[in-house]
Amino acid sequence: MNKPVYVDNNATTAVAPEVIESMLPFFTEHWGNPSSMHTFGGGVKKHIDVAREQVAELIGAEHPNEIIFTSCGSESDNMAIRGAVDAAGGHPHVITTRVEHAAVLGPCHYLEDKGFRLSTLDVDEKGNLDLNQIRQLAMSGKKTVASIMWANNETGVLFPVPEIGNIIKEGDGVFHTDAVQVAGKLPVSVKDLPVDLLSISGHKLHAPKGVGALYVRRGTKVTPHIMGGHQERGRRAGTENVPYIVGLGKACELAMQHIEQNAEHERKLRDRLEEGILSTCKGAHVNGDRENRLPNTTNISFEYVEGEAILLMLDDVGICASTGSACASGSLEPSHVLRAMDVSRTMLHGSIRFSLGRYNTDGDIDCVLEQMPRVIARLREMSPFAKD
């Protein structure tokens, strides 16, 4: 099989060769336990410290020990939300949005089931929030814990994190943002932001799957969810996954070095792809705010065709993209993000997300642009609803 044309980088990214190289010695030579008293094990600890500095630098954290290593973005989100609610005591009001990733909606609904008040904010047809709605909730006089994502994984739409953070802080609430799709794609500087907690995930930025981090601003209280040993200064027990932590550090260093160039590269490819599809495929519409979004993402709906059918036909020719719909128990569930944006019924099931990365080339875009008009024309011919 030929190398696939991979345009699904919001799902996961290829591990960078430099990252693999940085990890290997921690499987072969330096495999000791960083908590050991002997030099062979204990000596490994300094490499974790370097990785912590590299992660801190990527997101502009003032102190490396504000970074806690986790196993993934989902763990970081769960730890932030449940840990902050638990540490707040009383019964804080939990605030989130309808378009969050399941890793945020899951713990929020869990808390709601346990009796916490949960407010789930709406978005408009472009996927943007109404800041007045947030202000009303944040100023209600009750302690709040808000978890509001930075960039949407399906549409790429960016929420105004500084403004949201200011509002939450005015109401003396705790503010967590899921920055899994932002870290490594756009510059981030938490020390200048009203953010208490921020999640990142290794596999979205060319580190392996199975490692993530949570930024916890100094002074923010979070109850640990994994209790046991004293790793991560007692905030997350468990012997450290040293090779993956080292890999995440390296990936952050690489992302940091080329962040502007990569964003520009991805934006150029994305714009060419998007314009090409809109001009050659009938009934194609971009979902979400086209100005205010990640440089690498476009989410396009095709009237009267099924996203899954498009994906299967693309897969046949070696193109890997994604759709927001999930095939659940035999019925096709439309994306909760597009539903929240009130995308019309004729387009709700026909959305495809293309998400680009640093390794994509103009050749990849040529290939997608060659295939898409053929795929869409074919599927529209087969659709009983499509009309010219």
List residues binding ligand PLP (CB under 6 A). 72-74, 77, 101, 103, 149, 153, 178, 180-181, 201, 203, 212
Strands 351-355 and 197-201: unpaired
Instruction: Tell me the closest approach of the beta carbon of residue 180 to ligand PLP, in angstroms.
Output: 4
Helix (H) or strand (E) holding 318: none
Rounded-to-integer distance, Cα 133 and Cα 97, Å = 11
Residue nearest to ligand PLP (CB): 73
- Concerning whether 327 is annotated as a catalytic residue, the answer is yes
Q: Are 283 and 302 within 8 A, CB to CB? A: yes
Measured from the Cβ of residue 320, the count of other Cβ atoms closer than 10 Å reads 15
Helices vs strands, H then E, count in the chain = 14, 14
Q: Cβ closer to ligand PLP: 12 or 166?
A: 12
Q: Cβ closer to ligand PLP: 72 or 111?
A: 72
Q: Cβ closer to ligand PLP: 296 or 371?
A: 296
Length of the chain: 388
Instruction: Tell me the closest approach of the beta carbon of residue 150 to ligand PLP, in angstroms.
Output: 8
Q: Cβ closer to ligand PLP: 193 or 376?
A: 193
Strands (E), 234-366: 284-286, 297-302, 319-320, 326-328, 331-333, 351-355
Instruction: Tell me the closest approach of the beta carbon of residue 388 to ligand PLP, in angstroms.
Output: 37
Instruction: Tell me the closest approach of the beta carbon of residue 176 to ligand PLP, in angstroms.
Output: 12
Q: Are 125 and 168 within 8 A, CB to CB? A: no
Structure tokens at 171: 């109401």
* Residue 168: closest CA among 197, 188, 189, 191: 197
Instruction: Tell me the closest approach of the beta carbon of residue 194 to ligand PLP, in angstroms.
Output: 20
Catalytic residue among 108, 252, 320, 327: 327
Q: Cβ closer to ligand PLP: 181 or 231?
A: 181
Amino acid letter, residue 246: V
| Residues annotated as part of the active site | 327
